[in-house]
A and B are shown apart, each in its own frame.
Chain A
Amino acid sequence: MTASVKQRPVLEVLNYSMSYQTEDGPVEALRNVSLKVMSGETHAIVGESGSGKSTLAWAVTRCLPANARDLNGAILLNSEDVLAKSRSELRDLRGRRISMVFQDPSSSLNPSMKLGDQVMEVLRRHRGMSREAARIEAEAALSRTGIQNPAAMMERYPHEASGGEKQRVIIATAFACNPELIIFDEPTTALDILTAKQILELFVKLRKETGVAALYISHDLGLVRRIADTVTVLYKGEVVEEGDVKTVFETPKHTYTQNLLAALPRPQDRIAAPAPETTAPLCAVENVSVRYNEPSWLTRIVNPAAKAHYGAKQISFDVRPGELVGIVGESGSGKSTIARAAIGLNPFEGRITFNGRHFDNWKAFDKAYRRQVQIVFQHPDASLNPRETIGRILARPLRLYNLAPAHAVPERVRELLETVLLPPEFVNRYPHQLSGGQKQRVAIARAFAAEPKLVICDEITAALDVSVQSAVAQLLVELQARSGAACLFITHDLNLIRQLAHRIVVMHRGTLVDTFDVADAVAPERADYTRALLNAVAVPTRPAHTS
């Protein structure tokens, strides 16, 4: 690419501010945002949830909700002001000159239209092609995205394709009209680790071939570093830092960027509790299988081929006292299924041994077991009863298991809040008055309130922002070290689990493929699947601190 081409800005956002009108008055979503995307470059916007990064994408394409108001500034696409365009001009603009790839491929395709028709529609609408020409072009576009049999894929409906295939179709559509700018809004976040890696490689390849300018929105700093040329860091609707990716990531100037980078989990920075001294297991899971959708006798009469589906098959592993065992795997690998079986939410076959006692089915779990094994769920918004105060939520395990006499309960609740670093006045708050990270702390406090021997954490950091994530992980490890509880930590974040865990269990499609000490994560005897997973994620390096 020649230097002269690189000079020309494709998208310029100049001093742009916008707000949403809400019942509580206007809320400024973007404040004096300026950025430039040069032709042929990938410009990344990074920021945590609520930073306004998606709002900016919507502002550029002018797909804003009715309560959005532009305040000041301009958005120029190849020197044309987008803000001044009429509705019909915008319709021509979208898809033809700016196209967009969204986060969730399953919700951005029309489920009642064949994939091929959806690609062809764009070509016919924006490039004025005939049906036949569009079909040929669509097939070519699909094959460029690495789809093996494009003609067959075009005849399929979205539900007949996998997530990765759907995202490929969407990317093919986005590139099909040779747009001037493509906006990618977290295109790999909803995909599994391995699929995400392929989609990312595809993105890099296609962008290089076509030289189109790309605006890449992501919260994943490690990913941005690999693919972007320049980056803008957004925080609460304002640009805090911008520049060349290498410069920004290696010598971040703003404290926010520094903190964000420092919060990235790095396997080499271990924050685990001390390793257990014994190898005698606290909890042993032996040949546990979980079956779903057992066909009823009526279904079997109608359809003799009906079979139960295995959520997890013949899983065996153990957890030692005070140890943190990580379970990793892609979605659908059965990692949450095992957690639910162990906590008594799913029936299972096989045997769970806990503290010397054997349990052969989920009905056998008694109150003592349920007290000693606690769970923290993924979604902090859903795991606390919205109609109870934090105080009552935390007091419940104490009362249920008679862990404190009635008069001592309020004092103990305050202690619990203190241990998870929350102020004591939270006892009278309701969950919706807390942020996601705070809610997750309450959920962790509730689990530890029962003085458990084993805490199961089901993707507890997945719904949180990077900086909150690391704080929650640290808190968990601290509590674990203090109470001596073991922990089963389920996650898909390999870097994080290598920071936390003593041992790691890898699951794939309901079976256990690998168990290893964290120190042996990169050893050559690892299973192929483990190695593929580890290769798919970049390990972030430590930034040189300038503060």
Chain B
Amino acid sequence: MRKLLSSPSGLIGSLLLAIVLTAALFGPWLAPYEPQQFHAQSRLQGPSLQFLLGTDQYGRDLLSRILNGAPATVLFGIGATVLGVGVGSIIGVIAGVAGGRTDSIIMRILDGMLAMPELLFTLLIVTFLGGGTTQALLAVAVTFTPGMARVARSSVLSVRTREYVLAAIARGESQNWIVFREVLPNALGPVIVEATIRVSFAIMIGATLGFLGLGAQPPSTEWGLMVAEARQFMFRNPWCVAMPGLAIAITAMGFNLFGDALRDVFDPKRNH
């Protein structure tokens, strides 16, 4: 942890992440107004003392809306990643441990899925499942699965040929012991790092889906949706597009920098 905070990117990443997580956990209570409350007198205003970040086309307070949208947005990112990483790692570990024909078959199917651009693939799944937050989350998770499976598999493969694993095989250890005690604890590092970085992608894809109207539906305060709704009024009040956009950027950057720093910490070459 000390090492994580000693690098500039780690420090900034952790700070941004702390802000975002605070907003996600306590946002609705911190918000000065109700997110759906109209202030008809003060529509499309810039930042002022009354409305710290300005208001949108209905006079709703942007700060309150962003704070209220934080849990949904961040949970979306984390949820989609956890699901995708979980399923992906299980598939990857199975492929890596089994090897041979099982490995070939699993990996060829995943290669096929990987051949499709990520966003396009997500859109395809959402079209198939129908719009909505849950559907979008599932779509992102499915999109993440093949990539994560690849990362988990390569990590398992590199650990599998280490001498301590060979020693365990030579000792006649059971398959379960070898996988859960010898291989997995040492193969998880890269998976965790990759997962952290992917949270930011998930948030961005989620926002994109919201923007396209395929994710969260109005009057949700999901950030991507906020950008989409305010788009028509972009020139009258740029703040109502910039603020949710900035929130997305900060969150994505926080997770990204944090993941980068985490990778450096896990890198054994830096530890010795």
Segment at the interface with B among A142-150, A194-202, A241-249, A371-379: A371-379
24 A-B pairs with C-beta separation under 8 A? A23-B3, A23-B6, A343-B170, A344-B169, A344-B172, A345-B166, A367-B172, A370-B171, A371-B172, A374-B171, A375-B167, A375-B170, A379-B163, A383-B163, A383-B167, A384-B164, A385-B186, A386-B186, A387-B185, A388-B181, A396-B171, A400-B172, A432-B272, A446-B167
CB distance from B164 to the nearest CB of A (A): 4
- Interface status of B162 (Cβ within 8 A of chain A): yes
- Interface status of B173 (Cβ within 8 A of chain A): yes
Kindly list the 10 A-B residue pairs having the minimum CB-CB distance in the complex, ordered from nearest: A370-B172, A383-B163, A377-B163, A382-B163, A343-B170, A385-B164, A387-B185, A367-B172, A382-B162, A375-B170
Considering the complex, give the chain A residue whose CB is closest to the CB of B172.
A370
Q: What separation, in Å, do the CA atoms of A522 and B154 have in the docked complex?
A: 49
Within 8 A of B (CB), among A419-460: 432, 443, 446, 450
- Interface status of A397 (Cβ within 8 A of chain B): yes
- Interface status of B182 (Cβ within 8 A of chain A): yes
Contact residues of B with A, CB < 8 Å? Answer: 3, 6, 162-164, 166-167, 169-173, 181-182, 185-186, 271-272
Q: What separation, in Å, do the CA atoms of A404 and B17 have in the docked complex?
A: 50
Q: What separation, in Å, do the CA atoms of A372 and B174 have in the docked complex?
A: 17
Are A400 and B171 in contact, with the CB atoms below 8 A? yes
Residue numbers in B under 8 Å from A378 (CB-CB):
163
Are B186 and A377 in contact, with the CB atoms below 8 A? no
Are A397 and B162 in contact, with the CB atoms below 8 A? no
Residue numbers in A under 8 Å from B166 (CB-CB):
345, 377
Q: What separation, in Å, do the CA atoms of A366 and B172 have in the docked complex?
A: 8
Determine the main DSSP class of A at the interface with B.
Answer: loop
CB distance from A431 to the nearest CB of B (A): 9
Q: What separation, in Å, do the CA atoms of A53 and B162 have in the docked complex?
A: 30
Considering the complex, give the chain A residue whose CB is closest to the CB of B3.
A23
Total residue contacts A-B, CB cutoff 8 A: 52
CB distance from B4 to the nearest CB of A (A): 12
Residue numbers in B under 8 Å from A385 (CB-CB):
164, 181-182, 185-186
Residue numbers in A under 8 Å from B164 (CB-CB):
382-385
Residue numbers in A under 8 Å from B173 (CB-CB):
400
Q: What separation, in Å, do the CA atoms of A387 and B186 have in the docked complex?
A: 7
Are A345 and B169 in contact, with the CB atoms below 8 A? yes
Q: What separation, in Å, do the CA atoms of A397 and B167 have in the docked complex?
A: 11
> A344's contact among B3, B170, B185, B271, by CB below 8 Å, is which?
B170
Q: What separation, in Å, do the CA atoms of A344 and B173 have in the docked complex?
A: 12
CB distance from B79 to the nearest CB of A (A): 29
Residue numbers in B under 8 Å from A396 (CB-CB):
171
Residue numbers in A under 8 Å from B182 (CB-CB):
385
> A397's contact among B3, B171, B272, by CB below 8 Å, is which?
B171
> A450's contact among B162, B171, B181, by CB below 8 Å, is which?
B171
Q: What separation, in Å, do the CA atoms of A79 and B169 have in the docked complex?
A: 60
Q: What separation, in Å, do the CA atoms of A374 and B171 have in the docked complex?
A: 7
Q: What separation, in Å, do the CA atoms of A396 and B164 have in the docked complex?
A: 12
Considering the complex, give the chain B residue whose CB is closest to the CB of A377.
B163
Residue numbers in B under 8 Å from A382 (CB-CB):
162-164
CB distance from A443 to the nearest CB of B (A): 8
Residue numbers in A under 8 Å from B186 (CB-CB):
385-387
Within 8 A of B (CB), among A395-426: 396-397, 400
Q: What separation, in Å, do the CA atoms of A366 and B171 have in the docked complex?
A: 10
CB distance from B31 to the nearest CB of A (A): 42
Residue numbers in A under 8 Å from B170 (CB-CB):
343-345, 370, 374-375
Residue numbers in A under 8 Å from B181 (CB-CB):
385, 388
Q: What separation, in Å, do the CA atoms of A388 and B181 have in the docked complex?
A: 9
Q: What separation, in Å, do the CA atoms of A524 and B94 have in the docked complex?
A: 57
Q: What separation, in Å, do the CA atoms of A23 and B272 have in the docked complex?
A: 10
Residue numbers in B under 8 Å from A397 (CB-CB):
171
Q: What separation, in Å, do the CA atoms of A374 and B182 have in the docked complex?
A: 18
CB distance from A25 to the nearest CB of B (A): 13
Residue numbers in A under 8 Å from B6 (CB-CB):
23
Q: What separation, in Å, do the CA atoms of A378 and B162 have in the docked complex?
A: 11
Which of B164, B173, B271 has most A Cβ within 10 Å?
Answer: B164
CB distance from B170 to the nearest CB of A (A): 4
Q: What separation, in Å, do the CA atoms of A397 and B173 have in the docked complex?
A: 9
Considering the complex, give the chain B residue whose CB is closest to the CB of A387.
B185
Residue numbers in B under 8 Å from A388 (CB-CB):
181
Q: What separation, in Å, do the CA atoms of A385 and B179 have in the docked complex?
A: 13
Residue numbers in A under 8 Å from B185 (CB-CB):
385, 387
Which of B6, B166, B272 has most A Cβ within 10 Å?
Answer: B166
Considering the complex, give the chain A residue whose CB is closest to the CB of B166.
A345
CB distance from A378 to the nearest CB of B (A): 8
Considering the complex, give the chain A residue whose CB is closest to the CB of B271.
A432
Considering the complex, give the chain A residue whose CB is closest to the CB of B188.
A387
Within 8 A of B (CB), among A338-393: 343-345, 365-367, 370-371, 374-375, 377-379, 382-388
Q: What separation, in Å, do the CA atoms of A23 and B7 have in the docked complex?
A: 11
Q: What separation, in Å, do the CA atoms of A383 and B170 have in the docked complex?
A: 12
CB distance from A162 to the nearest CB of B (A): 26
Residue numbers in A under 8 Å from B167 (CB-CB):
375, 377, 383, 443, 446
CB distance from A49 to the nearest CB of B (A): 13
Q: When each residue 93-137 of chain A gets 1 if its CB lies under 8 Å from chain B and 0 otherwise, what string results?
A: 000000000000000000000000000000000000000000000
Which of B163, B167, B271, B272 has most A Cβ within 10 Å?
Answer: B167
Q: What separation, in Å, do the CA atoms of A388 and B164 have in the docked complex?
A: 11
Q: What separation, in Å, do the CA atoms of A375 and B170 have in the docked complex?
A: 8
Q: What separation, in Å, do the CA atoms of A382 and B159 have in the docked complex?
A: 10
Residue numbers in B under 8 Å from A366 (CB-CB):
172
Considering the complex, give the chain A residue whose CB is closest to the CB of B182.
A385
CB distance from B160 to the nearest CB of A (A): 12
Which of B170, B173, B182 has most A Cβ within 10 Å?
Answer: B170
Considering the complex, give the chain A residue whose CB is closest to the CB of B164.
A385
Which of B163, B185, B271 has most A Cβ within 10 Å?
Answer: B163
Residue numbers in B under 8 Å from A23 (CB-CB):
3, 6
CB distance from B42 to the nearest CB of A (A): 53
Considering the complex, give the chain B residue whose CB is closest to the CB of A339.
B170
Within 8 A of B (CB), among A263-318: none
Residue numbers in B under 8 Å from A365 (CB-CB):
172
Q: What separation, in Å, do the CA atoms of A446 and B186 have in the docked complex?
A: 20
Residue numbers in A under 8 Å from B172 (CB-CB):
344, 365-367, 370-371, 400
Residue numbers in A under 8 Å from B271 (CB-CB):
432
Residue numbers in A under 8 Å from B162 (CB-CB):
382
Q: What separation, in Å, do the CA atoms of A231 and B121 have in the docked complex?
A: 67
Q: What separation, in Å, do the CA atoms of A385 and B167 have in the docked complex?
A: 10
Residue numbers in A under 8 Å from B163 (CB-CB):
377-379, 382-383
